Chain A
Amino acid sequence: MTKINVKICLGTTCFVMGGSKQQELIELVTRKYCGKVNVESSACLDLCRDNEFTGAPYVTVNEEVVPEATIEKVTDIIEKKINEQ
């Protein structure tokens, strides 16, 4: 099984808009999907300047951009991807 890559943006906008949730998300995803998911934080995903996406905070799950990323939203997408495999 290939691991799912999750990247969490820790740029200024995402950090502010996400409150302290990003750190929690990193810890939770690492713990919950241990072995199935590769979690990385990013200095900036450079997405906030792009109007194509609706808003910070951003997370990417494989190539999929998750705007306004909440813990629930991200875990749902991760589970969907795990089930698809």
Chain B
Amino acid sequence: MEESLFIDIDHFQRKKQGQNAYGDSFTSKRYPGEDRLIAVLSDGLGSGVKASILSRMTATMVLKFAEAERDLIKATEIIMESLPVCKVRKISYATFSVIDCNSDGNAKIVEEGNPQFLWVRNGKVLNTEPKVITSRKFQNRHMQCYEIKMESEDRLIFCSDGVTQSGLGSPGYKLGWRRSGLIGFVREILKKEPYISSRQLSAEIVKEAEKKEINKEAKDDISSSVLYFRRPRKLIVFTGPPYHSEKDREYAEMFAGFDGKKAICGGTTTNLISRELNRPITGGKIPSGNLPSISEMEGVDLVTEGILTMTKAVEYLENPQKIQPDAAGKLVDLFLDSDCIDFMVGVKLNQAHYDPNLPIELEIRKNVVKRMIKILEEKYVKKINVKFI
């Protein structure tokens, strides 16, 4: 059986210049029991708080309707027929794009009023004809419905019109950046970074759109969300020496044989793996802010100190805006770029850590790992396996 795909989904937004609230809303939810992911991007009429409320309500309603109704078209049709029209401007209060997909790559997409999504495969944008459903109640209101099959390394890019219309009226982009400009930019970026994460790609798109604006000031809310279908990226973190030291070799070999990226957190663990696998530890001179420096070992992507670095990494995961390029920041980068993370947690105690002179913040490894796993699972939707050894 073919391995199921992982869907890396993320979004990035900029508010219209001078506003305090985002006028576009993005929401997504995974339903692991049903192998289903639904995501909605909605653009509220106008900007600021009013637009924010309109788009948030629409996005939430579309998500809830789609969730309850197996038939996405039926669910979205109800929304299309009920979205009110602004009395002054005679246009809909909000537009939306919704995707309902699964790990086999089956995706159903419905768009109402938003720019058409991009479907990118091998650096090329694929064209697909929609089935158009016209509103019975409202003139000029249509839904474009698509049913497509995603393959590994395919991407879907959704955006609000703030992206395609960025730069409108500027000397370089009289008609705005447009879909063609966006396509060119995405192709260029994928040529340089074919494995770019959804987090990075959505941010790049929005930042580029903002650059197109006169004085780089967003004239509208600018949002982009990206879905990247791929084989799961795996990471293993080995932290702490095993309880039974006679099993050191076995665990070191298990770590070395792991099919994915590898990180070691802990000085004793590093020594143990170095000894068992006969791989020297080098580096240790890479400065790391207030944390112990990073070491290097052949075949291992990151080698750090243990408790302090992991405690700091949990802090960064809780407050991503605080991330620094130190050892903990590098560990967090590895986490965020991975889909499945295995932890091998050695539970042998180091008596020295119980010295009453040590600060109280120095926690027991199991507790730090427990907090780390909870946040990675709940906030970052990572698939975690943990083995206490």
Residues of A with Cβ closer than 8 Å to B? 9-13, 15-17, 20, 22-23, 26, 40-44, 46, 48-49, 55-56
Contact = CB atoms under 8 A, between A and B. Distances in A.
B172 interface: no
Interface of B: 266-268, 270-271, 281, 284-285, 287, 290, 292-293, 295, 303, 305-308, 350-353, 355, 357-359, 362
Contacts of A10: 267, 284, 292-293, 305
A7 to B, nearest CB: 10
A44 B358 contact: no
Given A15-B305, A44-B268, A23 B293 contact: yes
B303 A43 contact: yes
B305 A56 contact: no
Given A43-B270, A43-B271, A12 B284 contact: no
A48 B287 CA distance: 23
Nearest to A40: B284
Given A12-B267, A16-B362, A20-B290, 4 more contacts: A11-B267, A43-B303, A44-B267, A44-B270
Contacts of A42: 267, 281, 284
Majority SS of interface residues in chain A? mixed
B358 A17 contact: yes
B67 to A, nearest CB: 46
A9 to B, nearest CB: 8
18 contacts: A12-B267, A12-B350, A13-B350, A16-B308, A41-B285, A42-B281, A43-B267, A43-B270, A43-B271, A43-B303, A44-B266, A44-B267, A44-B270, A46-B267, A46-B268, A48-B350, A55-B357, A56-B352
Contacts of B287: 23
Contact of A11 (B268, B303, B359): B268
Contacts of B358: 13, 16-17
B149 to A, nearest CB: 48
A59 B357 CA distance: 19
Contacts of A23: 287, 293
B366 to A, nearest CB: 15
A23 B298 CA distance: 24
Nearest to B270: A43
B355 A13 contact: yes
Contacts of A56: 352, 355
Contacts of B295: 41, 43
Given A12-B306, A41-B285, A46 B271 contact: yes
A26 B283 CA distance: 13
A73 to B, nearest CB: 18
A12 B352 CA distance: 10
B267 A41 contact: no
A40 B284 CA distance: 8
A49 B348 CA distance: 12
A12 B353 contact: yes
Contacts of B285: 26, 41
A16 B268 CA distance: 15
Contacts of B268: 11, 44, 46
Nearest to A8: B284
Contacts of B266: 12, 43-44
A81 B71 CA distance: 81
Instruction: Choose among A12, A48, A49 the residue with the greatest number of B CB atoms under 10 Å from its CB.
Output: A12
Instruction: Choose among A16, A17, A49, A55 the residue with the greatest number of B CB atoms under 10 Å from its CB.
Output: A16
Contacts of B308: 12, 15-16
A-B complex: 9 closest residue pairs judged by Cβ atoms: A44-B267, A48-B352, A11-B267, A41-B284, A43-B267, A43-B270, A10-B292, A13-B352, A15-B292
Nearest to A39: B285
A67 B267 CA distance: 18
B330 to A, nearest CB: 15
Contacts of B281: 42-43
Contacts of A13: 350, 352-353, 355, 358
Nearest to A42: B284
Given A12-B267, A43-B284, A49 B351 contact: yes
A16 to B, nearest CB: 6
A26 to B, nearest CB: 8
A82 B216 CA distance: 62
A41 to B, nearest CB: 4
